[in-house]
Structure 1
Amino acid sequence: MAQYQSDFDDQLSPTPYHGHVYDPGSRAWNARQMGLIDEGALNQCEGGKFFPETQGGLSDKVAPNDVPNAVPPADGKIASAGQEAGRVLDDPTKNWPRKQVASGDAIDISWFFTAAHLTRRWNYFITKPGWDSTRPLSRDQFEAKPFTQVESTLDPFWQHNAALKPANPTKHSIRLPERSGYHVLLGVWEVADTGNAFYQVIDLDFVKSDIPDHLPTPPGNLRTETVTGKSVKLAWNASSGASPITTYRITRNGITTIDVAASLLTWTDESVEPNTRYTYFVSAIDENGAESAPGNTIMVTTLGGEDTPPTAPGNLHSMGETATSVSLMWGASLPEAAIASYIIYREGKEVQRVSGSSQTWNDTGLTPDTRYRYFVAALDSHNRLSVPSNVLTIQTKSQDSGGNYPTWKLNEAYKKGDIVTYKGKLWKCVQDHPSYTETWAPDVPEIKDILWSSLA
């Protein structure tokens, strides 16, 4: 895991890849180890969000300001999310490695992100009893609703950058439903700031277990009633079962926190830290000791304490350089509502202050072919200064490498109107897009006049 964290911390700019499940090894992860796909296909199982929907252009039901969805993957292409580079993942004849589990097991699902999008939710689906494993995965083989969901309802997403950006790695503790034999778990990571989601399937082999025949129903509608810098008050709906419910078990960040009496449907966590993200779920236990599957999981970010300065701005990086300018971007400090301004430093000296609602700034009038160092700090409404962000070192372009226009390259987020040089010609960006792949280069016939237009 340390290597995963190191790889993530080394990244200062957007990448063409986004993430995968590595523990337990997803099908994509195993295919990569087997040499069947490359690193790009491992991380790019990307298709339209809101599975099992089939149409695009739909708005998020809990966050209407999110980007509407693109078309979700078609049946038969769910494991690859419709990506050609990963089509082997859709082959049911492969002897895919399976993780041995038992009904009712609590297992950890660990995600690694190469680009941590602002996240709306993770949904976990499982195949139905009696599904046909000889067919490529299709919607009718999965339960229609996820058995576990981790969701944030913060909206609009652009006002909650830090709270919606997932930790890397992100781990979810989920309790498996009752099954036997071979089944497939589908994890769908849905992002708020694009129309897409990332699909990872995990092949499971359910062995016989001794769990009771009738488990309590999962407690529903877990929610927060109050959140401060020192406490989080949770509430949930009652569970039911064949035997009386005696206890509710609250789990925080994957670790059991406390058991409370069944007569209580609220609990206040008074052991939290300010400006810190926590995940919670609740399960029910009956008088026989049988424990339900967990209810919905929620993410909560506590407020800043009265004497607590804001957190450091995160992941300062360059969105592009020219011979005389650099475009900077960073992640929001917490608590976002209290940030009055961000202070940008170049070579250790303040060069600009921007509004607390901004996380970008363009530095112009620079010298070509020159190295510059930047960091950013946040100033809150009480005039308290955060510790600095990471230090970013960049070098401006040479004057003879296209004048003031940068060379087109991978892993850049281009905006409409941007001008680049490519193969000796000037090109103008027609619509906002990230340069995820060489097939989106300006001179590719399918891309001309869609993403780029020639100025030569």
Structure 2
Amino acid sequence: MSEQRANVISRSITPRHGHIFSPASRAYFAWQAGEIDEGALNQRESGKFFPHTAGGQTDPYARDDVANAAPPPDGKIASANQSTGQHLDQPGSHWRKHEVRGGETLDISWTFTANHVTRRWNYFITRQGWDPSRVLSRDQFEAQPFYQVQINLQPYWSHSNSMKPPSPTVHEVPLPQRDGYHVLLAVWEVADTANAFYQVVDLDFVPSEGGGQRPDAPTGLRAGNVTDRQVVLTWNAATGPHPIARYRLSRNGTTSVDVQAPQLTWTDQSVAADTLYSYFITAVDNQGNESPPSRAIEVRTPGQDGAPTPPTNLHSMGVSAQSVSLMWGASTGTAPIAQYLLFRDGIEVQRLSGDRTAFEDSGLRPATQYQYVVRALDTQGRLSLPGNVLSVRTANGEGQYPAWRLNTPYATNALVSHAGGNWRCLQAHTSYTEDWAPGKPSSEVLWVVHP
């Protein structure tokens, strides 16, 4: 393995499932295009210890960490073998790429949206002479990561707060020498679960023209005065061998505007309310040389007229005959969130404090369809628009075994009730995604109907 870095990451207040937003991953571009939703963007999740293929393995460095589930099979690496986003696995060189240069450092920025105690991040690159017309498979990548960031604290349960990464987390990744199109695979491995998160970034390695003549990347990019109608960006002046002529702002990976130097601010007045944007900036000197990109930032605009953004990704974490376990993504706004209002079939049934994003709705009827929606109320009395509508059917009450639940370890031959039937576990695993629920197409290797 080439150069690696091991370090301890400081505590984060709100780390969660996550994705790479800069340079935009293949999944991030798909989310921008409306091909997957925000929940699917953050849940490219499968077993850890790639490029291994089998589950049940312990971490050779930290043997007290949770053993792994099976990593994604060949041909399902970009999607992490999830049913959502299967088109991410399509072979070909048509994917949107980022221009890079071998030997330079690439800032890779992660954002997190669900709690996970982290062990490491591994970065893989495709081999010289790989074949883009074939699906991404283990033999298309180098066998070892070319770069790694590891948290060395053990055992994980004694250091859980210290092992949660801040959001965003930025890694300064030194790129290997390559030419043309290559794929970078980033794998975020979790200590307290069996899984990892997979992000594919498509890169175009171009010649290093001009050697050291390029300006340095601008630093200190930040957003201020963020409203539902504008985002004010400021940054620090760049330097280089030649005078800086202008700064090039990019939003969501697309060039927005050139700002003439020495100006160090720009206001984006074309934003929409309750929308997530990513920004980065480059410097261009008077010889036409362009710097590497700055570290990117993500900005979510508040709801219209300062109202909170709608809660996101309302989903079920488990269903029984008489209850539904619910979870959603937090709202944001210009004022703190005071409460979440939960509606069932159009009627408010619960108010929860603003720091809660989960609730188990009990006392329900078996075999009954319910619709849920959540709204946020801030401390100024402003109410958000409703989030997504979730339709859930309770079990029929005939199951004689415990109800299947999300985030639960299951041993081989364990019996559960789900979706009105009984099921037997085919292989030991932990239920980290609803795609692994009994009866789902992607769970056929995990569950079989139990008579």
Q: So what's the TM-score if we normalise by structure 1?
A: 0.55
Pairwise CA distance, 1:386:
2.0
Query: Which residue in the other structure is 2:80 paired with?
Result: none
Pairwise CA distance, 1:354:
1.0
Query: Which residue in the other structure is 2:252 paired with?
Result: 253
Whether the 8 Å CA contact 1:219–1:236 is kept in 2: the answer is no
Alignment partner of 1:414 is 2:408 = yes
Query: Which residue in the other structure is 2:311 paired with?
Result: 313
Partner-residue secondary structure (3-state), 2:321: coil
Pairwise CA distance, 1:345:
1.7
Partner-residue secondary structure (3-state), 1:434: coil
Query: Which residue in the other structure is 1:223 paired with?
Result: 221
Structure 2 CA distance for aligned equivalents of residues 356 and 192 of structure 1: 27
Query: Which residue in the other structure is 2:329 paired with?
Result: 331
Query: Which residue in the other structure is 1:299 paired with?
Result: 298
Whether the 8 Å CA contact 1:186–1:199 is kept in 2: the answer is no
Letter in 2 for 1:414: T
Letter in 1 for 2:48: G
Q: Deviations over 1:5-29 (max 9, x none)?
A: xxxxxxxxxxxxx99837999xxxx
Structure 2 CA distance for aligned equivalents of residues 69 and 220 of structure 1: 39
Structure 2 CA distance for aligned equivalents of residues 441 and 311 of structure 1: 38
Pairwise CA distance, 1:283:
0.8
Q: Compared with structure 1, are the counterparts of its residues 126 and 216 closer, same or farther at alpha carbon in structure 2 (3 Å cutoff)?
A: farther
Query: Which residue in the other structure is 1:64 paired with?
Result: none
Structure 2 CA distance for aligned equivalents of residues 101 and 327 of structure 1: 38
Pairwise CA distance, 1:217:
3.8
Whether the 8 Å CA contact 1:184–1:201 is kept in 2: the answer is no
Query: Which residue in the other structure is 1:170 paired with?
Result: none
Whether the 8 Å CA contact 2:225–2:232 is kept in 1: the answer is yes
Pairwise CA distance, 1:408:
3.6
Q: Deviations over 1:147-195 (max 9, x none)?
A: xxxxxxxx9999x9xx98xxxxxxxxxxxx9977455330426599987
Structure 1 CA distance for aligned equivalents of residues 312 and 28 of structure 2: 26
Whether the 8 Å CA contact 1:248–1:285 is kept in 2: the answer is yes
Alignment partner of 1:21 is 2:21 = no
Query: Which residue in the other structure is 2:383 paired with?
Result: 385
Query: Which residue in the other structure is 2:288 paired with?
Result: 289
Q: Deviations over 1:319-372 (max 9, x none)?
A: 222111111222222228622111122222221111111122112112222222
Query: Which residue in the other structure is 2:107 paired with?
Result: none
Structure 1 CA distance for aligned equivalents of residues 323 and 260 of structure 2: 61
- For structure 2, the residue ranges without an aligned partner over 5 or more in a row are 1-18, 31-43, 51-58, 78-90, 102-111, 132-138, 150-160, 169-174, 437-442
- Superposed counterparts of 1:4-403, under 5 Å: 21=26, 47=48, 83=71, 85-86=73-74, 97-98=92-93, 104=99, 118=114, 137-138=141-142, 142=146, 181=179, 184-188=182-186, 190=188, 197-199=196-198, 212-224=210-222, 226-229=224-227, 231-264=230-263, 266-271=264-269, 272-303=271-302, 307-335=305-333, 338-402=336-400
Pairwise CA distance, 1:280:
0.8
Query: Which residue in the other structure is 1:39 paired with?
Result: none
Q: Compared with structure 1, are the counterparts of its residues 71 and 386 closer, same or farther at alpha carbon in structure 2 (3 Å cutoff)?
A: same
Query: Which residue in the other structure is 2:54 paired with?
Result: none
Partner-residue secondary structure (3-state), 2:186: strand
Structure 2 CA distance for aligned equivalents of residues 438 and 323 of structure 1: 23
Pairwise CA distance, 1:279:
0.9
Structure 1 CA distance for aligned equivalents of residues 240 and 407 of structure 2: 52
Letter in 2 for 1:255: T
Pairwise CA distance, 1:251:
1.3
Q: Compared with structure 1, are the counterparts of its residues 401 and 381 closer, same or farther at alpha carbon in structure 2 (3 Å cutoff)?
A: same
The percent identity for this pair of structures is 30
Structure 2 CA distance for aligned equivalents of residues 125 and 256 of structure 1: 27
Structure 2 CA distance for aligned equivalents of residues 124 and 285 of structure 1: 32
Pairwise CA distance, 1:125:
6.8
- For structure 1, the residue ranges without an aligned partner over 5 or more in a row are 1-17, 26-42, 58-67, 73-80, 90-95, 107-115, 146-154, 165-176, 444-456
Q: Compared with structure 1, are the counterparts of its residues 222 and 276 closer, same or farther at alpha carbon in structure 2 (3 Å cutoff)?
A: farther
Whether the 8 Å CA contact 2:47–2:72 is kept in 1: the answer is no
Structure 2 CA distance for aligned equivalents of residues 119 and 136 of structure 1: 32
Q: Compared with structure 1, are the counterparts of its residues 308 and 103 closer, same or farther at alpha carbon in structure 2 (3 Å cutoff)?
A: closer
Letter in 2 for 1:321: V
Letter in 1 for 2:254: I
Structure 1 CA distance for aligned equivalents of residues 145 and 380 of structure 2: 55
Structure 1 CA distance for aligned equivalents of residues 76 and 303 of structure 2: 48
Q: Compared with structure 1, are the counterparts of its residues 203 and 213 closer, same or farther at alpha carbon in structure 2 (3 Å cutoff)?
A: same
Partner-residue secondary structure (3-state), 1:85: coil
Letter in 1 for 2:306: T
Q: Compared with structure 1, are the counterparts of its residues 188 and 236 closer, same or farther at alpha carbon in structure 2 (3 Å cutoff)?
A: farther
Q: Compared with structure 1, are the counterparts of its residues 441 and 124 closer, same or farther at alpha carbon in structure 2 (3 Å cutoff)?
A: closer
Letter in 2 for 1:325: S
Pairwise CA distance, 1:241:
3.6
- CA RMSD of superposed structures (Å): 5.6
Q: How many residues align?
A: 341
Pairwise CA distance, 1:276:
3.2
Pairwise CA distance, 1:99:
5.8
Structure 2 CA distance for aligned equivalents of residues 280 and 407 of structure 1: 44
Pairwise CA distance, 1:239:
3.6
Letter in 1 for 2:354: G
